[in-house]
Structure 1
């Protein structure tokens, strides 16, 4: 039995639409939501009375209001990334027997916000929580850079890129080509770019809007990152990344 309340579903859809595309007028919101103008106006007026949206300008444009900010703050406290990733991260490590972590972008660096290491992992990865490194090195860094804005990518390509091993990508053209490949295939691989004997693979974590907000990555010995093992690593990473993204509100089908 379907217990969905159509009006609530439609209102929620409009609220998410205003959140994703602030500044749209009534006609645009009605078209994008699939509702009539009259229906959209009534729903938006109800949301406005609850201080979830507000109208500004002439003709009127819709934006989120202060009650939506309160909801967002409450959600951030209740469903934060670090808490959400804990169980999937542990499951990934138990299945693969390797070290796994979650990294986010902070400027032109990546920051480790969560990690879990298998007790019998063949290699000890030195990326503790809070560890930073440049975006251009490692699977997680390259993945986060690939999905960053054009301005961030250009800033990184113009920066002086430090080399850690002979495999570190320090040539801007080579790095740009690698970023394009990552976007096409939906994952990143690093082979001895940061540490000579270490390899890693990373997949994106998406939020409610579909934006890539973090990278789920697994590290192992370079000798173990073979072409026949890579599909299994990717399958498990994508499975757990999909679980994390879903917990953050992502409802899309792109779990690459």
Structure 2
């Protein structure tokens, strides 16, 4: 091992690494589509790979049962073999177990839907959702939905908890993927800076039109930004005064989750 990177018999980086990373990038792009799937053109746009490369990777993954093609839409979706492989892992993480009572408490106190989103590589993944009691709920994202870091309120919050160089590196790595979500690198970097100053992230325009979102970051016991707790609501539910109240509740819940997460 040299400079923290594996070497293959002293001949440079592990052979085949680029091909594996490209295949993983394709899988992450497909995961965004969930049940409806993603077209080949959308995968090309999300990954910045050439169309022939994406086509080749997708068809190898189909041969291996990792990806399937919908007969109805022609879109590509994650195959049934992937959940089967996931059974080899524990079903719930210590972070999720620690967070559950605090998600329920925050949702009951505020009346709106609360989400828990975790970082996974260059993406965010929604792992829990608690629906509130208010008659109009904003279900802006489903459990299992994946987004590039920097696209959602939670993603910006997680990036804001990192050092500026680390956050910028991730944003630049996701730059090509931002176009599909109608944002760009300068916008995301500006949102991160504002979230750092506030101590939480406030998104004036949520993933659903007419909504707002507020997120507080959560760190692991060793201090690494790992997740965010988010409230999404109709815009008139988050006026300036209530925004402060919601921020206080979410930041307190985030700190309680950190304290309850085992090292």
| TM-score with structure 1 setting the length | 0.60
In structure 2, distance between residues paired with 1:79 and 1:104? 11
Classify 1:88/1:193 alpha carbon distance in 2 versus 1 (closer, same or farther; 3 Å): closer
Aligned pair 1:203/2:216, yes or no?
A: yes
Aligned pair 1:152/2:170, yes or no?
A: yes
Q: Which residue of 1 aligns with 2:186?
A: 173
In structure 2, distance between residues paired with 1:139 and 1:78? 23
Q: Cα distance, 1:175 vs. partner?
A: 2.0
Classify 1:147/1:135 alpha carbon distance in 2 versus 1 (closer, same or farther; 3 Å): same
Q: Which residue of 1 aligns with 2:37?
A: none
Classify 1:129/1:79 alpha carbon distance in 2 versus 1 (closer, same or farther; 3 Å): closer
Aligned pair 1:90/2:100, yes or no?
A: no
Q: Cα distance, 1:138 vs. partner?
A: 2.5
SS in 1 for 2:137: coil
Q: Cα distance, 1:120 vs. partner?
A: 3.5
Q: Cα distance, 1:236 vs. partner?
A: 0.6
In structure 1, distance between residues paired with 2:100 and 2:108? 12
Aligned pair 1:123/2:140, yes or no?
A: no
Q: Deviations over 1:198-234 (max 9, x none)?
A: 2110001111112221001111101222111111001
SS in 2 for 1:228: helix
User: Larger Rg: 1 or 2?
Assistant: 1
In structure 1, distance between residues paired with 2:92 and 2:190? 39
SS in 2 for 1:162: helix
Q: Which residue of 2 aligns with 1:134?
A: 148
Classify 1:173/1:231 alpha carbon distance in 2 versus 1 (closer, same or farther; 3 Å): same
After TM superposition, what 4+ stretches of structure 1 lie above 3 angstroms from structure 2?
A: 76-79
- Structure 2 gap segments, 5+ residues each: 1-89
Q: Which residue of 1 aligns with 2:245?
A: 232
SS in 2 for 1:209: coil
Contact 1:105 1:144 in 2 (8 A): yes
Q: Which residue of 2 aligns with 1:110?
A: 124
In structure 2, distance between residues paired with 1:78 and 1:174? 34
Q: Cα distance, 1:139 vs. partner?
A: 1.3
Q: Cα distance, 1:127 vs. partner?
A: 1.8
Aligned pair 1:161/2:186, yes or no?
A: no
- Structure 1 gap segments, 5+ residues each: 1-75, 251-256
- Count of equivalent residues: 170
Aligned pair 1:182/2:192, yes or no?
A: no
Choose which of 192, 205, 216 in structure 1 pairs with 2:205: 192
1:1-20 aligned within 5 A: none
CA RMSD across the alignment: 2.3
Contact 2:206 2:213 in 1 (8 A): no
